[in-house]
């Protein structure tokens, strides 16, 4: 069992002070990245990889950091009691959570020159039921155990995310604030752009601000365009910092969320729903994500990121769009050196002249 050594405080400023100075970039999406690489199963979506193949999680942390993420998010997402119950492995809960936190902290210590923040994470419990009082207590217990482990690991803040109920989010928020930690609360907004109670994004976020949330906003479900649509109302309704972390898929007015997507160009997807494992043709490219980051910054949305589907190339372009040069900028594209499309004087004219014929 892991016990956390008291570590020196890495961070010079806390999240709020950092946000006061400008955007903070946060790469998420570990679940999808690990599924594509073959380290966890779509459907149950439990991050067993943090126990079975921790080195793979470390590597993705590294790649996101190199790409410019300011935050190392411990991969505890969906590593909660209900998810582990469904695969019959509840006894793994504590080691899984603690391992994920340790992996994130270790990744940060590899990059001592960067002012990185480590965050914990709680998410939709999937047991919340407004009509069942017992479920509210159970929910609270699930959040409490996760927040306690994150606090023990001395995280810089906690994100509560992908929650669709205001009341469930309020339980998570209270647990985080009672632990004395900075809380980022990100809803996932459904097709109708409302919470499960039917509350609008602005109103739902205001409730959180009034209850002590430090950052409010949205993550997951929607692609960049369908996320941007909801941001002005949120920005107008609250005075705290606002977060936006879409999925990198081209979701549309017709289907704003990625949980129900069809791919017109493909007729062999089992069941017809491209979610979650056949979304490839709907992928946003790096430049679309860069534009998203720029637009957020111009709208005073300061906690900017990317959720399920994220890869480091998206994150790097978002970082560059925010005017930065992250570590992996070293290998930023330079097509002037391409043998056919390039402009470098040493290239063979025979090939550059033929570029359009390729």
Contact between 96 and Zn ion per CB under 5 A: no
Pick 30 or 128: Cβ nearer Zn ion: 30
Q: Which of 220, 230, 240, 284 binds Zn ion (CB under 5 A)?
A: 220
How many of the chain's residues bind Zn ion (CB under 5 A)? 3
Collapsing DSSP to helix, strand or coil, 186 comes out as strand
Contact between 175 and Zn ion per CB under 5 A: no
User: What minimum distance in Å lies between the beta carbon of 29 and Zn ion?
Assistant: 6
Pick 44 or 336: Cβ nearer Zn ion: 44
Question: Of the candidates 221, 252, 72, which has an alpha carbon nearest to the alpha carbon of residue 157?
Answer: 72
Contact between 259 and Zn ion per CB under 5 A: no
User: What minimum distance in Å lies between the beta carbon of 225 and Zn ion?
Assistant: 16
Pick 144 or 217: Cβ nearer Zn ion: 217
**245 CA to centre of own chain:** 6
Contact between 159 and Zn ion per CB under 5 A: no
CB 250 within 8 A of CB 225: yes
The C-alpha R_g of the chain, in whole angstroms, comes to: 21
What string of DSSP letters covers 163-181?
E--HHHHHHHHHHHHHTT-
CA angle 234, 239, 244 (to 5 degrees): 40
User: Biggest alpha carbon distance in the chain?
Assistant: 75
The token pair at 258 is 């990625």
Question: Of the candidates 199, 152, 146, 200, which has an alpha carbon nearest to the alpha carbon of residue 172?
Answer: 146
User: What minimum distance in Å lies between the beta carbon of 24 and Zn ion?
Assistant: 18
User: What minimum distance in Å lies between the beta carbon of 73 and Zn ion?
Assistant: 11
Pick 185 or 307: Cβ nearer Zn ion: 307
User: What minimum distance in Å lies between the beta carbon of 245 and Zn ion?
Assistant: 8
User: For helices 93-109 and 133-152, what crossing angle results, to 10°?
Assistant: 40
Helices (H), 179-285: 201-210, 224-228, 231-237
φ/ψ of 209, rounded to 5, equals -60, -45
Q: Which of 172, 240, 284, 308 binds Zn ion (CB under 5 A)?
A: 308
Pick 237 or 275: Cβ nearer Zn ion: 275
Helices (H) and strands (E) in the chain, counts: 14, 8
Contact between 307 and Zn ion per CB under 5 A: yes
Binding mask 44-83 for Zn ion (x = CB under 5 A): ----------------------------------------
Q: Residue 86 burial by CB count (10 A; 0-12/13-18/19+): exposed, middle or buried?
A: middle
188-207 binders of Zn ion (CB under 5 A): none
User: What minimum distance in Å lies between the beta carbon of 191 and Zn ion?
Assistant: 16
Pick 144 or 248: Cβ nearer Zn ion: 248
Q: How far is 173 from 116, CA to CA, in rounded Å?
A: 23
Which of the ranges 36-44, 249-257, 288-296, 300-308 carries the binding residues for Zn ion, by CB under 5 A? 300-308
User: What minimum distance in Å lies between the beta carbon of 74 and Zn ion?
Assistant: 15
Neighbours of 220 (CB within 10 A): 27
Which of the ranges 94-102, 134-142, 303-311, 348-356 carries the binding residues for Zn ion, by CB under 5 A? 303-311
User: For helices 166-178 and 133-152, what crossing angle results, to 10°?
Assistant: 40
In the chain, the N- to C-terminal Cα span, in Å, equals 58
Pick 274 or 308: Cβ nearer Zn ion: 308
Which of the ranges 14-22, 147-155, 178-186, 213-221 carries the binding residues for Zn ion, by CB under 5 A? 213-221
Pick 144 or 245: Cβ nearer Zn ion: 245
Residues within the interface to Zn ion (CB under 5 A): 220, 307-308
């Amino acid at each position: 069992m892991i016990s956390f050594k008291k570590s020196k405080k890495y961070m010079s400023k806390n999240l709020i002070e950092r946000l006061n100075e400008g955007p903070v970039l946060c790469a998420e999406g570990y679940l999808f990245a690990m599924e594509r690489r073959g380290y966890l199963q779509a459907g149950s979506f439990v991050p067993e990889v943090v126990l079975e193949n921790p080195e793979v999680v470390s590597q993705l942390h590294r790649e996101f950091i190199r790409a410019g993420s300011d935050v190392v998010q411990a991969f505890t997402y969906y590593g909660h009691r209900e998810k582990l119950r469904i695969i019959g492995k509840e006894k793994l809960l504590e080691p899984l959570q603690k391992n994920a936190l340790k992996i994130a902290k270790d990744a940060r210590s590899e990059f001592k020159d960067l002012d990185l923040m480590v965050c914990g994470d709680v998410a939709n419990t999937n047991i919340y039921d407004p009509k069942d009082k017992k479920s509210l207590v159970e929910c609270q217990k699930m959040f409490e155990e996760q927040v306690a482990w994150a606090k023990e690991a001395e995280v810089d803040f906690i994100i509560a995310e992908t929650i669709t109920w205001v009341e469930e989010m309020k339980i998570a928020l209270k647990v985080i604030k009672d632990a004395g930690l900075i809380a980022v609360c990100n809803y996932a907004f459904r097709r109708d752009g409302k919470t499960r109670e039917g509350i609008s994004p602005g109103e739902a976020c205001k409730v959180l601000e009034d209850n002590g949330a430090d950052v409010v906003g949205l993550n997951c479900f929607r692609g960049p365009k369908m996320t941007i649509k909801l941001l002005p109302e949120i920005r107008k309704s609250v005075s705290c910092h606002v977060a936006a972390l879409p999925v990198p898929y081209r979701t549309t007015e017709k289907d704003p969320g990625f949980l129900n997507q069809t791919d017109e160009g493909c007729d062999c997807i089992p069941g017809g729903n491209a979610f979650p494992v056949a979304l490839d043709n709907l992928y946003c490219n790096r430049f679309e994500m860069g534009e998203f980051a720029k637009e957020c910054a111009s709208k005073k949305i300061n906690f900017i990121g990317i959720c399920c589907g994220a890869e480091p190339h998206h994150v790097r372009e978002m970082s560059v769009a925010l005017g930065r040069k992250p570590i992996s900028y070293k290998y930023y594209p330079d097509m002037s050196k391409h043998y056919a499309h390039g402009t470098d004087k040493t290239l063979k004219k025979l090939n550059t002249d033929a570029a359009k014929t390729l």
